Amino acid sequence: MSLIERLLDPVLLSLRVLETGCRKSVWVAAGGILSTVAIWAFHVTHTQFLSRLPGILSKIILLAVLVPPFLVVLSLAYLLFPNDSSFNSSSGPMSSYIQRQRDDKRWKIMILSGLVATANLFCMVLFAARG
């Protein structure tokens, strides 16, 4: 198992948990919303905190800014569009089509989550440039 696979394995496991657990998704969404509000509240009072950090600390802060909105959209999307469990063990001529539809839905949710997280960061940068 490569280093990348070992690093991504916990992430994929947590995504599977989000996908199956309705209550957990609500808690993750609530925590992500509160974290995003807290980050914005800090950013409003300290507008330059994204630009004045050295090296690895700036990457950690950037990750901390991107993750909460990503998790909010991801968990809300899994709440709004749950997996249909009746097709989990389907076989036959249409089973690959059903699996493809499920994978396409997951891919679209991931892209939307990434876009919202990036838009949040972009808004923070614009707010810092304005102030």
32, 75 Cβ separation under 8 angstroms: yes
Question: For the whole model, what pTM was predicted?
Answer: 0.72
Hey, where are the domains in the chain? 3-130
Residue 69: the pLDDT is 92
Measured over the CA atoms of residue 46, residue 71, residue 35 and residue 11, the dihedral's sign is negative
- Residue 115 pLDDT class (50, 70, 90 cuts): very high
Q: What is the pLDDT of residues 9-21, one digit of tens each?
A: 655 655 665 556 6
**89-112 confidence digits (pLDDT tens):** 666 677 777 788 888 888 898 999
Question: What is the Cα–Cα distance from 119 to 91, expressed in whole angstroms?
Answer: 40
pLDDT per residue over 17-72, tens digit each? 555 666 777 778 888 888 999 988 888 888 777 777 777 877 788 888 888 999 88
Dihedral through CA 57, CA 60, CA 65, CA 69, nearest 10?
Answer: 180
Q: What is the 3-state secondary structure (H, E, C) of 61-78?
A: HHHHHHHHHHHHHHHHHH
- Cα separation, 75 vs 60, in Å, equals 22
